[in-house]
Amino acid sequence: MMENFDDLVTDSRLRREELLERVEETGRDEYYLGSYRVMTTSGSSGRKGLFIYDESGWSAIMAQFLRHCAMMQFRPQLPRQRVAAIVGGAPTHMSRQVAANVAVGIHNVRTLPGTLRVERLVEKLNRFGPDHMNAFPSLAVILAEEQLAGRLRISLKSMTTSSELRTPEMTDRIVEEAFGVRPFDLYANTEGLWGVECERHEGIHLFEDAALLENVDEDGCPVPPGERLLITGLYNLVQPVIRLEVSDVVALEPGPCPCGRTLVRTRAIEGRREDVLELAGRDGGAVAVHPLQFALLTRDREVREFQVVQEGESVLILVVARPSASSELQGRLREVVSRKLTELGVREPRLGGTSQEPDTFGERQTATRGRGFNHTSSPSRMTD
C-alpha cells in the first residue's frame, strides 16, 4: 500500500513524496489542502506508514475513541479527568492527533513522548497526577517498577495499554503490585480498525461495524477462525483500505462474550512482543531501550526499512536503503543512534560499520556494528 500510495488515494492532488516532505517540514498538527489529516506510523516496526483522512473519516476515528472510553466506563466529567497519553514520538502519529482533539473540552490530556528518558517521564507524571494513563505494555511495566520503587507516585482510576502483546505476567506486575487497576487492552491501528477489552478482559472487542473483518486461509478465501485477518474500512473514502492484511491481529473468537456484547473478539493481539532491549548502562545497571527509540532511523528519508537484532549485549542494525541513498547514510545513522543511546544512558555506544553487497532486491543493505555491538548475524535475514 505504501509503494502504490499515489495510485490508491482517491484525490490526485495527494502525492506520497510531497506529503512525507510536508510532514517533516511542518511537524505540526494541521490540515493539508484545507481538509485532510496526514498521519504517519512511528516506524518502530521498521517502516513508516502514511495515512490520510478527510473530515468525516476523522470524525469516525474520534467516535471510536469515545466509544472505547465508554466501554471502560471512563466518561467525560467536570472537572475534566486528567489523561496521560504516552505516545509515539512524531506529531503526525495518530495517538498524538487523537489526543490533541480530545484535549479540546473532553478530557484534560497531556501527551508525553514514549521516547523520553524514564526519569523525565516519572517527573512529568508526578507533576500532572493523571486519573487515567495509556502506555505501551513494555513501558507500563517499566513505570510499574518506578511506582513500586516509590519514585513514581500516581493514583490511577483506570489504565489502557496498546500496540504490543501484554502477557499475564506483565498484567500482574502492573495491576496487583503497582497501580491497583486492571488495564484495558486497546487496539487502534492507523488503517482505522479499533477495539478494546470489555470489563471481562477476555479478548478485545473489535468495532466491526466500522470495518469489515474476514478471517481467511492462505489463498485468501474466507474461513471461520483462521490465521490471517483482512480488513476493509467502511469510512475512509480518501485512502480506501480494501481487504488489507493486518499482521498483528490474529484469529477471531467465534463464541459470545459473557458481557453480552456481540462485537467480535480477537483471541490475541500479537503486536511486537518482547522487543525491549536491555543494554549495559553507564552507571553499571541495565538500560531498557524501547523499540520506539529506533524509529528515528525511519525519519531518515533514505531508509526504507530497518531491523534491530540483539544477542546478549550486542546489537546489529540492518538497514535497507533506498536506491537513491548517498554514501553518507551509514555515518549519519551511526551518529544519530549513538547520540540517542548516549542520551538514554547506555555505556559507550560506539558503533562501527560495514557495508554489504546489493541484495536480491537491488537495494543496498547497511550493517552497523561496533564495540558492545559486535554481533555477527547474517544481514540476509532482512530479506526473508
Cβ at position 206, least distance to Zn ion in Å: 11
Cβ at position 102, least distance to Zn ion in Å: 24
Q: Using the 8-state DSSP alphabet, how is residue 358 labeled? A: P
Closest CA to 109 of 136, 142, 139, 131: 131
Cβ at position 186, least distance to Zn ion in Å: 14
Separation of alpha carbons 104 and 332, rounded Å: 39
Separation of alpha carbons 201 and 183, rounded Å: 9
In Å, what is the CA distance from 112 to each residue of 45, 203, 221, 315, 322? 20, 27, 42, 27, 32
Q: Which of residues 258-317 bind Zn ion (CB under 5 A)?
A: 259, 261
Cβ at position 311, least distance to Zn ion in Å: 40
Please identify, using beta-carbon distances, which residue of 131 and 197 lies nearer to Zn ion. Answer: 197
Please identify, using beta-carbon distances, which residue of 253 and 359 lies nearer to Zn ion. Answer: 253
Please identify, using beta-carbon distances, which residue of 257 and 286 lies nearer to Zn ion. Answer: 257
Q: Does 257 bind Zn ion (CB under 5 A)?
A: yes
Neighbour order of strands in the sheet with 211-216: 211-216, 228-233, 244-245
Q: Tell me the number of residues near Zn ion by CB under 5 A.
A: 5
The label of the residue with cell 554481533 reads 375
Q: Does 156 bind Zn ion (CB under 5 A)?
A: no
Polymer length in residues for the chain: 384
Separation of alpha carbons 234 and 192, rounded Å: 9
User: Which listed range, 105-113, 144-152, 237-245, 255-263, lies at the site for Zn ion (CB under 5 A)?
Assistant: 255-263
Please identify, using beta-carbon distances, which residue of 185 and 305 lies nearer to Zn ion. Answer: 185
Please identify, using beta-carbon distances, which residue of 103 and 259 lies nearer to Zn ion. Answer: 259
Q: Dig out the grid coordinates for 133 from the structure.
A: 494513563
Other CB atoms within 10 Å distance of the CB of residue 238:
18
Contact 302, 322 (CB under 8 A): yes
Half-sphere exposure of 138 toward its Cβ, with a 13 Å CA cutoff?
Answer: 20
In Å, what is the CA distance from 340 to each residue of 115, 142, 195, 256, 315? 10, 19, 33, 47, 14
Write each residue from 161 to 200 as x if it is in contact with Zn ion (CB under 5 A), else as -, in one continuous string.
-------------------------------------x-x
Cβ at position 322, least distance to Zn ion in Å: 45
Half-sphere exposure of 173 toward its Cβ, with a 13 Å CA cutoff?
Answer: 18
Cβ at position 81, least distance to Zn ion in Å: 23
Write each residue from 215 to 254 as x if it is in contact with Zn ion (CB under 5 A), else as -, in one continuous string.
----------------------------------------
Cβ at position 202, least distance to Zn ion in Å: 6
Please identify, using beta-carbon distances, which residue of 205 and 304 lies nearer to Zn ion. Answer: 205
Cβ at position 119, least distance to Zn ion in Å: 38
Please identify, using beta-carbon distances, which residue of 120 and 200 lies nearer to Zn ion. Answer: 200
Please identify, using beta-carbon distances, which residue of 63 and 257 lies nearer to Zn ion. Answer: 257
DSSP string, 11-47: STT--HHHHHHHHHHH-S---BTTTBEEEE---TTSS
Please identify, using beta-carbon distances, which residue of 143 and 196 lies nearer to Zn ion. Answer: 196
Cβ at position 266, least distance to Zn ion in Å: 12
Write each residue from 136 to 155 as x if it is in contact with Zn ion (CB under 5 A), else as -, in one continuous string.
--------------------
Where on the chain is the footprint of Zn ion (CB under 5 A)? 198, 200, 257, 259, 261
